[in-house]
Structure 1
Amino acid sequence: MSELAHLRLMARYNAWMNQAVYDAAATLPAHDLAAERGAFFGSLLGTLNHLVAADTIWLRRFAAHPTHFSALEPVLALPAPAGLGAIHSADLALLGAHRRMLDQLIGAWTAQLLDADLDHVLDYASTTGIRSHKRFGDLLLHFFNHQTHHRGQASTLLSQAGVDLGVTDLLMLIENVADHGAPAAPA
């Protein structure tokens, strides 16, 4: 699988899993969503807000790529989060709508990526002001890995609240391959 195909698969996985997490979270009362559970960002709601904040911060950085991806233009109109713990919304429905918008944007953006875009070195500042210069394709791997990491925490928080998230494996989105390397027909 090419690097671009892998990134596009991760964008699909991201959207699929985010929807599953938000659907599961919607079964909980508001006090359970906001309950302190000892996670990095406290509660399930804090974790979901962190993902929105971090994704927005990264997408705004990615919009500085010299290709100027048209799919990333809407993110520049969004307010910049004040930090990684910024609360976009305490209302799960509003947060979920924003999450879906980000995921649609991520899918459209990864569809625009070209191989040559991945080798660009992106200069950016961390939220603490530290300057970095990293290969764009490697930053995208971090972007998707970060989401997976915190969705794993969200899965644990849901489990602690008595909600089974169900299957979360990327394997569910990987196509079967026929004997000669072509994707098998869907069942």
Structure 2
Amino acid sequence: MNAVAPILRLHEHRFWVTQNLRDACCQLSPEQLNQPHEIGQGTLWKTLCHLYAAEYVWLAALQGTDDAVAPGDVAGKLPGNQEGEGASTSLAALVERWQILDGLWRAYLDAIAPEDLDKTVFRKSTSSYQGQRIGSTAMDVLLHVATHAHYTTAQAVNMLRHSGLSDMPQSMLITLARSQSAT
């Protein structure tokens, strides 16, 4: 097995978990999506926007754009908020945009070769390095995107539980594996 195989498996899991999370969130009202929580981004809506934005900017970095910003800078925008051109103003709009992004990610991952994992990917830091252009290997970026999604999804599942949802979205890799072996 080459190093690409486990990366692809992690991202297959990320796609599955994210879809499950989006489906669960579609059962909630705007009030539940915006209910404050003392975890993660503070609300489910902000957490979903954060997940989308992270996937968007890191794919752009992998494709050579080091300073991408998610369309409309969706992080923190609430449903119904018209600020920011291109901002998602509803969960349905965000999900639609995210499904397109998933397709772009799949195309990128389908084309990746083992030698691509060692390439340096640049991103202008928005946090601790205050705008510096920082390089990381594509492998580290790909691992980061998957682990960030898993960590943030765990926070979102906790928020869902506190929002009153009784049927939690499936998120364990072994659950995905078992469901695939059953078919």
**Fold match by TM threshold 0.5:** yes
Q: How much is the aligned-residue C-alpha RMSD, in angstroms?
A: 2.7
Letter in 2 for 1:116: E
SS of equivalent to 1:94? helix
1:73 is aligned to none
Instruction: Report matched runs for 1:63-142 at 5 Å.
Output: 63-64=63-64, 80=70, 85-87=75-77, 88-127=87-126, 128-142=130-144
How far apart are residue 19 of structure 1 and its match? 1.2
Count of residues in correspondence between the two structures: 169
Taking structure 2 as the reference length, what is the TM-score of the superposition? Answer: 0.81
**Alpha-carbon contact 1:53-1:86 (below 8 Å) kept:** no
> In the alignment, is residue 48 of structure 1 matched against residue 32 of structure 2?
no
How far apart are residue 79 of structure 1 and its match? 6.1
**Alpha-carbon contact 1:41-1:85 (below 8 Å) kept:** no
**Alpha-carbon contact 1:14-1:103 (below 8 Å) kept:** no
> In the alignment, is residue 167 of structure 1 matched against residue 176 of structure 2?
no
| Percent identity of paired positions between Structure 1 and Structure 2 | 28
Distance (whole Å) between structure 2 residues aligned to residue 167 and residue 151 of structure 1: 11
Distance (whole Å) between structure 2 residues aligned to residue 47 and residue 90 of structure 1: 14
The one-character-per-residue Cα deviations of 1:13-52 (angstroms, maximum 9, x if unpaired) are 1111111111111111111111111223111011000111
How far apart are residue 174 of structure 1 and its match? 3.2
Distance (whole Å) between structure 1 residues aligned to residue 5 and residue 170 of structure 2: 22
Distance (whole Å) between structure 1 residues aligned to residue 74 and residue 6 of structure 2: 26
